[in-house]
Structure 1
Amino acid sequence: MPPLPRPRRIVGVSLKMYFDLQSTLSYVRGMLQLDGDAWNARIDLFVIPDFVTLMASADILQPSSIMLGAQDAFWEDKGPYTGEVSPLVVRQAGAKIVELGHAERRAMFGETDEIAAKKAGAAARNGLIPLVCIGERTHHSIASAAVGAAIQECTPQVNSVLAAVPDDAEVILAYEPVWAIGAAQPADPDHVVNVTKELRKLAAGRSGVTRILYGGSAGPGTFAKIAEGVDGLFLGRFAHDIHNLKKVIEEVGGA
Structure 2
Amino acid sequence: MNEKILIGTNWKMTKTLAEGRDYLRRLIEIKKSLSSKIELFVIPSFPHLYPLKELLQESDIKLGAQTMHWEERGAYTGEVSPLMLEEAGVDLIELGHSERRQYYNENDIDLNKKVKAALQKRITPLLCIGENSVDKARNTGNEKIRKQLKVSLYGLTKEEISNVQIAYEPVWAIGSKGVPASAEYVREQHSNIRHLLIELFDETGEDVPILYGGSVNEQNFESYLNCKNVNGLFIGRSAWDIQSFEKILLTIDKNY
TM-score greater than 0.5 by the shorter chain? yes
* Pick aligned residue for 2:111 from 109, 112, 116: 116
| SS of residue paired to 1:225 | helix
Residue 5 of structure 2 corresponds to 9
Task: Compare 156-165 and 83-92 and name the one that shifted more.
Answer: 156-165
Q: Is the 8 A contact 1:136 1:177 kept in 2?
A: yes
**Pairs within 5 Å for 1:162-241:** 162-169=153-160, 170-182=163-175, 183=177, 185-204=179-198, 205=202, 207=204, 209-227=207-225, 228-241=228-241
**Pairs within 5 Å for 1:127-142:** 127-138=122-133
Q: Is the 8 A contact 1:73 1:84 kept in 2?
A: yes
Structure 2, unmatched stretches of 5+, are: none
Q: Could you tell me how far apart the structure 1 residues matched to 2:203 and 2:106 are?
A: 26
Q: Could you tell me how far apart the structure 1 residues matched to 2:159 and 2:251 are?
A: 30
Q: Is the 8 A contact 2:174 2:215 kept in 1?
A: yes
* Pick aligned residue for 2:151 from 160, 163, 166: 160
Residue 80 of structure 1 corresponds to 75
Q: Is the 8 A contact 1:194 1:229 kept in 2?
A: no
The TM-score normalised by the length of structure 2 is 0.89
The structure carrying a bigger helix percent of its residues is 2
Structure 1, unmatched stretches of 5+, are: none
CA RMSD of aligned residues (A): 2.0
Residue 51 of structure 2 corresponds to 56
How many residues are paired up? 246
Q: Deviations over 1:172-227 (max 9, x none)?
A: 11111001102354211111110111101222226485111111110124333233
After superposing on structure 2, the runs of 4+ consecutive aligned residues of structure 1 that deviate more than 3 Å are 139-142, 206-209
Alpha-carbon shift at residue 46 of structure 1 (Å): 0.2
Alpha-carbon shift at residue 141 of structure 1 (Å): 7.7
Alpha-carbon shift at residue 233 of structure 1 (Å): 0.5
Quote the sequence identity (%). 36
Q: Is the 8 A contact 1:100 1:130 kept in 2?
A: yes
Q: Quickly say closer, same or farther: Cα 1:141–1:90, change in 2 above 3 A.
A: closer
Q: Is the 8 A contact 2:132 2:171 kept in 1?
A: yes
| SS of residue paired to 1:220 | coil
